């Protein structure tokens, strides 16, 4: 079974972030933030994260143009577009080449659009492991997958996953 991880940058330090990636033997970052910048945590800006990843022997690839959040009409609607499907296929191809992690900003996956991307991967036969911290991961049970989640970036609209 194909396997991929997810993680949120959140308020982590650069050291903590890369320590976690090393603990899970991550070799490739697939960044799905549409706007990969942070004034509060500048080391998570796209260019700096790319350089830092390289110095840790990790490949960095930005996929935010096709898989990033903040879409007009909401992310659920955006998922039906050719751009999203092409981005998901690219993510799948890249994810199969090396131990990869999908990166976004929110700490908790169920508060982030990466959860929706992850669920699409699960439906395509992937095992998706959400990294919460160095010692803790989360894989939703089938029952949890049937619940309704509220994605705040989707104007509070309830979305079933």
pLDDT tens track for 71-81: 999 999 999 99
Split at pLDDT 50, 70, 90, the class of 141 is confident
Domain ranges across the chain:
2-160
CATH code assigned to 2-160: 3.40.1010
Is residue 99 within 8 Å of 24, Cβ to Cβ?
yes
State pTM to two decimals: 0.89
The predicted pLDDT at position 147 comes to 66
Axis-axis angle for helices 82-97, 114-123 (nearest 10): 70
Output phi, psi for 130, to 5 deg. -90, 120
CA distances (Å), 104 to each of 9, 32, 79, in order? Answer: 6, 6, 17
Collapse the DSSP code of 20 into the 3-class scheme (helix H, G, I; strand E, B; otherwise coil) and give the result.
helix
Between 146 and 101, the higher pLDDT residue: 101
If you search the block for the tokens 């993680």, which residue do you land on? 7
Q: d(Cα 6, Cα 66) in Å, to the nearest integer?
A: 17
What does the pLDDT look like over 96-118, one tens digit per residue?
999 999 999 999 999 999 999 99
């Amino acid at each position: 079974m194909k396997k991929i991880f997810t993680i949120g940058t959140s308020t982590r330090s650069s050291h903590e972030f890369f320590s976690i990636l090393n603990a899970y033997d991550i070799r490739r970052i697939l960044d799905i933030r549409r706007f990969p910048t942070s004034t509060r945590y500048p080391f998570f800006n796209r260019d700096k994260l790319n350089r830092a990843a390289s110095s840790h022997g990790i490949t960095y690839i930005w996929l935010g143009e096709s898989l990033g959040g903040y879409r007009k009409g909401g992310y659920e609607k955006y998922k039906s577009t050719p751009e999203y499907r092409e981005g998901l296929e690219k993510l799948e191809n890249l994810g199969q080449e090396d131990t990869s992690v999908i990166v976004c900003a929110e700490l908790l996956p169920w508060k982030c659009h990466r959860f929706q991307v992850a669920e699409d991967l699960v439906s395509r036969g992937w095992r998706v492991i959400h990294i919460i911290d160095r010692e803790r991961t989360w894989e939703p049970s089938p029952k949890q997958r049937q619940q309704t989640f509220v994605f705040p970036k989707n104007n509070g609209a309830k979305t079933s996953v």
